Amino acid sequence: MAEGTIKRITDKGFGFISIGGDKDLFFHHSNVEGAAFDDLREGQQVTYNPGQGPKGPRAENVTPV
């Protein structure tokens, strides 16, 4: 599993994980495990599996550290 930091969370049920450099990785609330989406906070460390969604790369199995 890869690690990253939650950079931004929206009130629409998705967010972005900073994975280093200029790239951020999209994640959807349905891909969060081990916590409720509403309990996640910006700046929080998470692990995830890189995946591919219909619109491009995304994080799957997002789990707070």
Give the chain's domain count.
1
Q: Regarding predicted confidence, which is higher, 11 or 23?
A: 11
Cβ partners under 8 Å of residue 19, min gap 6 = 2, 4, 25
Report the pLDDT value the prediction gives residue 56, as an integer from 0 to 100: 94
| N-term to C-term CA, the chain | 11
In order of 6, 20, 22, the CA distances from 34 in angstroms are 15, 24, 28
Phi, psi of 41 (to 5 degrees): -130, 150
| pTM for the structure as a whole | 0.93
pLDDT of 23 higher than 90: no
Evaluate whether 35 touches 48 at the Cβ level (below 8 Å). Answer: no
Q: Residue 20 — pLDDT band, cuts 50, 70, 90?
A: confident
CATH number at residue 40: 2.40.50.140
Domain extent at residue 53: 2-64
